Structure 1
Amino acid sequence: MSMPDRKEIQVRELLEGPHPVVPAGLAASAAERGDRLLRRRRAAGRFGWTVLFAAVAVFAVWALLTHPWTVPPSGVSPPLEGW
């Protein structure tokens, strides 16, 4: 059997030793921070969806007004009609 690694020995010593005392308000502050992060994430999502919807609406209005799918008339030569 091989000798245990130095890091493994240190980890075993940490796990077997006395455990540190947890601060009294740690759970409450962690829950408060989690709520704050969740509110920020939701607000960012709402903002993103609002910006996306506004961009789609602006694009639709622009497309309806300018008709980008139609071919513009050629300005090189006059139309050949009445020959």
Structure 2
Amino acid sequence: MSLPDRKEAEVRRLLEQRTAEPVPADLAERALADGARLLRRRRVLRTALWAGVLAGLLALAVWSLTVDPWSEPPPTTTSPAGGW
């Protein structure tokens, strides 16, 4: 018997031995509730992340308009007053 055949035979033997366990009656309802809760959490997280990104972009825009970082800084030295 080759390796895949032996594995298949072992799985079949295990499946035939196993007794059927009772499934809870409300299993589908609980799974549906868990899935809905997971989707709701993901939606809230996605919304919060987008709000954070937009707030960061807004803060960057306000900062760039108030500070004017692209203009040349004023000179730090003054011209001589007395003329040589």
Runs of 4+ in structure 1 over 4 Å off: none
- Tell me the TM-score normalised to structure 1 length: 0.75
Counterpart residue type for residue 29 of structure 1 = R
* Cα 1:21–1:12 shift into 2, 3 Å: same
- 1:45 maps to 46
- 1:13 maps to 13
Percent identity between the aligned chains? Answer: 42
The gaps in structure 2 that reach 5 residues or longer are none
- 1:61 maps to 62
After superposition, the CA RMSD in angstroms is 2.4
Q: C-alpha deviations, 1:17-49, integer Å up to 9, x for none?
A: 443322111111000000001110000011111
Aligned pair count reads: 79
SS in 1 for 2:70: coil
How far the C-alpha of 1:68 sits from its partner, in A, is 0.9
SS in 2 for 1:70: coil
SS in 2 for 1:73: coil
Q: C-alpha deviations, 1:45-74, integer Å up to 9, x for none?
A: 111111111111111000000111112133
The gaps in structure 1 that reach 5 residues or longer are none
- Tell me the TM-score normalised to structure 2 length: 0.74
CA distance in 2 between counterparts of 1:36 and 1:44 reads 12
